[in-house]
Amino acid sequence: GENVEQHPSTLSVQEGDSAVIKCTYSDSASNYFPWYKQELGKRPQLIIDIRSNVGEKKDQRIAVTLNKTAKHFSLHITETQPEDSAVYFCAASLSGSARQLTFGSGTQLTVLP
């Protein structure tokens, strides 16, 4: 089955700086890669996703890049704000959809004011 590794497990940045979280996946057939943000005790919320036919996608301060050859994808948050502090999870799917997601281990992002 698919295996997703996520790094780093914790990340602290100063407000206004950029944050980058990286994930690698094992199955080259995976073709859908969402990112979720989870605040303490709350539900995960989809913040951005990318499919294997695209190399990069951007939504305001958030961007995701995908390197299919190397089997890794990254989340980039620019101009970080304290409200960006949360746990971020990457995931990968073989089905090309949000079904059968395999999640990474999560990254605790702390944005220091």
Partner 1 sequence: GAVVSQHPSRVICKSGTSVKIECRSLDFQATTMFWYRQFPKQSLMLMATSNEGSKATYEQGVEKDKFLINHASLTLSTLTVTSAHPEDSSFYICSADRRGTDTQYFGPGTRLTVL
**Residues making contact with partner 1 (CB under 8 A):** 34, 36, 41-46, 49, 89, 97-106, 108
Taking the least distance from each CB to partner 1, the nearer of 81 and 97 is 97
Please give the structure tokens belonging to residue 40.
Answer: 């303490």
Nearest in space to 111 (alpha carbons), one of 78, 88, 82, 77: 82
CB-based burial label for 107 (10 Å; 0-12, 13-18, 19+): buried
Taking the least distance from each CB to partner 1, the nearer of 29 and 98 is 98
CB of 1 to partner 1, least distance (A): 9
Taking the least distance from each CB to partner 1, the nearer of 27 and 49 is 49
